[in-house]
């Protein structure tokens, strides 16, 4: 019989991930602070729970997909949290992008209750979550990874164990450096093309066929063509990730000069009230600076 899975956090990414688990035949218990996605999953066949504690008490495997480190700490260790409902043997995968140091702290606290934890952040954005082709970067014990691998395969395509708990998070931060810098580079390139009078669709096609081609260009192409930046992954969330990156870099003694500049671009976007845009919306700032806004 399939393991009962608990899923906490049904936002842009978590909602489609949870749907994939249901479609794969896993019994699912869900919780979120927002009622609409809970109702949606309930109609699709999931059970609901009123708190993280209740989810933990009802499942054998628990997944969280939450915005930031404080959210994971609260859900895992706070009042009514996972720690209060967990039984020995519970397997817990946090698939949020948070501080790897916090992942290790949470893992140590839950280990005292007999819970074995993986950090397993993902890359691929909303489209990757909807298509079930996320890249999942995992830290934690090999045995727990092996047990949860069939579950990860329902939600992702590339699943890699990097090492002990926290290593998934460090890998995700490295991923977010590349994505943020790539999006900023695309913004500059496309703004240059716009000022030069190039046809954007033809420009994107030409760039995609050479060394400048990337997943970012491919996935964000429709945004650039439409000039609209509805969130698949919000500027606010990537700005949060950039903060985690710089914090980790300081602790490890790693200079990240390019990332620091991109962080300031994202900061400026938020000052302009554009934190809710998709992160490819960094182009709107470059267009403003170049006097090339629509």
* DSSP string of 198-218, one letter each residue: --HHHHHHHHHTSTT--HHHH
Q: Residue 117 above 80 pLDDT?
A: yes
- Is residue 263 pLDDT above 70, yes or no? yes
Quote the Cα angle for 134-140-146, to 5°. 70
Could you tell me if 156 and 97 lie in one domain? yes
CA distance 285 to 268: 8
The answer to whether the beta carbons of residues 118 and 89 sit under 8 Å apart is no
294 inside domain: no
Give the residue numbers marked as catalytic: 172
Q: Summarize the confidence of residues 166-173 as an average pLDDT.
A: 96
- The reply to whether 156 and 182 lie within a common domain is no
**Which residues lie closer than 8 Å to 43 by C-beta, 6 or more apart?**
none
Q: Are residues 31 and 145 in the same domain?
A: yes
DSSP 234: B
pLDDT at 1 (0 to 100):
63
Residue with tokens 């794969």: 24
Residues 6 or more apart from 238 whose CB is under 8 A from it? 176, 179, 180, 266, 279
> Could you tell me if residue 103 is left (phi over 0), alpha (psi between -120 and 50 degrees) or otherwise beta?
alpha
Distance of CA 229 to the CA centre of its chain: 18
Domain of 277 in residue numbering reads as: 170-289
Q: Is the pLDDT of residue 119 over 90?
A: yes
Task: With a cut of 90, say whether residue 103 has pLDDT above it.
Answer: yes
Cα separation, 147 vs 141, in Å, equals 10
Question: What digits encode the pLDDT tens for the residues 42-72?
Answer: 999 999 999 999 999 999 999 999 999 999 9
CB of 285 closer than 8 Å to CB of 272: yes
**168 touches 138 (CB < 8 A):** yes
DSSP β-ladder status, 91-94 and 47-48? unpaired
Q: Give the CATH number of the domain where residue 256 resides.
A: 1.10.1040.10
Give strand ranges (E) for 124-240. Answer: 134-139, 156-163
Cα–Cα dist 166/107, whole Å: 9
Domain boundary among 163, 179, 194: 163
The pLDDT score that the predictor gives to residue 2 is 79
My answer on whether 11 and 105 are in the same domain is: yes
In three-state secondary structure terms, 67 is: coil
pLDDT of residue 183: 98
The DSSP code for 160 is E
CATH number at residue 158: 3.40.50.720
| Closest C-alpha to 176, from 245, 254, 232 | 245
176 and 123 within one domain: no
pTM of the model: 0.91
Using one digit for the tens of pLDDT, what is the confidence trace for 224-262? 999 999 998 999 999 999 999 999 999 999 999 999 999
Number of domains into which the chain is organized = 2
């Amino acid at each position: 019989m399939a393991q009962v899975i608990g899923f906490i956090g049904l936002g842009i990414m978590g909602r489609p991930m949870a749907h994939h688990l249901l479609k794969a035949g896993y019994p699912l218990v869900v919780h979120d602070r927002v009622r609409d996605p809970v109702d949606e999953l309930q109609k699709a066949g999931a059970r609901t729970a009123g708190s993280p504690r209740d989810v933990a008490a009802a499942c054998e495997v628990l997944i969280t997909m939450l915005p930031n480190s404080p959210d994971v700490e609260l859900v895992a260790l706070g009042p009514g949290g996972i720690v209060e409902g967990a039984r020995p043997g519970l397997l817990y995968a946090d698939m949020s992008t948070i501080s790897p140091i916090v992942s290790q702290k949470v893992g140590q606290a839950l280990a005292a209750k007999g819970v074995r934890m993986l950090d397993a952040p993902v890359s691929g954005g909303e489209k990757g979550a909807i298509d079930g082709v996320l890249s999942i970067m995992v830290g934690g014990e090999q045995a727990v990874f092996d047990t949860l691998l069939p579950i990860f395969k329902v939600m992702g395509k590339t699943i890699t164990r990097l090492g002990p708990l926290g290593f998934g998070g460090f890998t995700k931060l490295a991923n977010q450096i590349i994505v943020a810098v790539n999006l900023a580079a695309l913004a500059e390139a496309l703004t240059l093309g716009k000022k030069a009078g190039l046809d954007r669709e033809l420009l994107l096609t030409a760039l995609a066929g050479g060394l400048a081609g990337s997943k970012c260009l491919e996935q964000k192409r429709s945004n650039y063509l439409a000039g609209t930046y509805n969130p698949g992954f919000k500027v606010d969330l990537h700005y949060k990730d950039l903060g985690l990156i710089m914090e980790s870099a300081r602790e490890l003694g790693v200079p990240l000069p390019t990332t620091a500049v991109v962080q300031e671009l994202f900061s400026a976007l938020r000052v302009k009230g554009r934190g809710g845009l998709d992160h490819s919306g960094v182009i709107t700032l470059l267009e403003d600076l170049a006097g090339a806004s629509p």
